[in-house]
Amino acid sequence: MSTSSIKSETAYIFPGQGAQILGMGKDLFQDSPPAREIFSEADDVLGYELTQIMFNGPQDELTQTVHAQPAIFTMSIACYESLKQQQKPSTTPKPAMFVAGHSLGEYTALVASNSLDFKDALHLVKERGRLMQDASNLIPTGMAAILGLEELVIAEICQATGTFMSNVNTAEQIVISGAKIPLAHAMDMALLRGAKRAIPLKVSGAFHSSYMQPAQDEMQTLIDNAPIRDPEIPVIANCTGEPLYTASDVRKELSNQLCTCVQWKKSIESMVTLGVHNFIEMGPGSTLSGLVKRIDPSVYTHSLNSLIGIRRITD
């Protein structure tokens, strides 16, 4: 796929927490000047060498929410800036039709849409990670992926057990969250109701549930004061699956995001309905591309997580 194929029916998508991989971005740092600038700026903004944790670990430190979120965000923007630098002037494509990000990735999408500057978004992401970790430490909570059970049935289970639906990733993969004992009950109930699997996730808390309200309350002042602009490219909202066109829309979305279910399936379906045929994932891993293909096998997906991949798509 060449740059001339990155047309207006393309959407850029960005991953969230859990995508982190030790060593991610090292080739970009070494061989891409725009990426190196992003990594160096991140170290300066954060006041510590995030890049050393990303490239060299240890793994358990990279996995901590307070480091994982800035790391994934920075890696994703490094990919995005490298893609822009590799595009040839003679074949410069039209801008993406939409941008979207899964949970944390929504902040990356806001930078790609020029609704937020990198530095300002990184400050928000840093605090978001810290506050989510603090909220998770208040009470033992967790998350679990339920595979092969209808959304309506899972909603009934959540209501019966006092748990929450946190991510609707595909029709076959829905993530729930809650306190440890109710979450275990919900997993057992899901299996009894016909789920293929119920898998506990290795996360520190119940993200996208009311357990994140303390974090959301403290984030609100930061969001209110952030220099958010109208997006130049519409951003598809996690909470609704609908496009965000104004700074006011963006603030409202970020104000609700931490405690509201990520409607990823609806987000992809909305973009397809609006004319998107190509999805380009930028950042570590390729999880989102896999989800997109399960939501709609007819679309094209590309995962850009290395300089080799970026050069291939722009040749």
2 a catalytic residue: no
**What end-to-end distance do the CA atoms of the chain give, in Å?**
8
Longest dimension (CA), the chain: 59
The Cα–Cα gap between 107 and 183 comes to: 28
Q: Which of 208, 207, 197, 170 is nearest to 289 (CA)?
A: 170
CA angle centred on 277, ends 271 and 282, rounded to 5°: 80
What are the start-end ranges of the H helices in 65-150? 65-86, 105-112, 118-136
Q: Specify the amino acid at residue 9.
A: E
Determine contact, residues 14/102, Cβ cutoff 8 Å.
yes
Query: Quick check: helix, strand or coil at residue 1?
Result: coil
Run of H or E residues at 235 = strand 235-236
Which residue among the candidates 67, 102, 208, 302 is catalytic per the annotation? 208
Which residue among the candidates 32, 76, 82, 103 is catalytic per the annotation? 103
204 a catalytic residue: no
The Cα–Cα gap between 95 and 76 comes to: 17
CA distances from 223 to 71, 93, 128, 142 (A): 20, 32, 10, 26
- Residues with a catalytic annotation lie at 103, 208
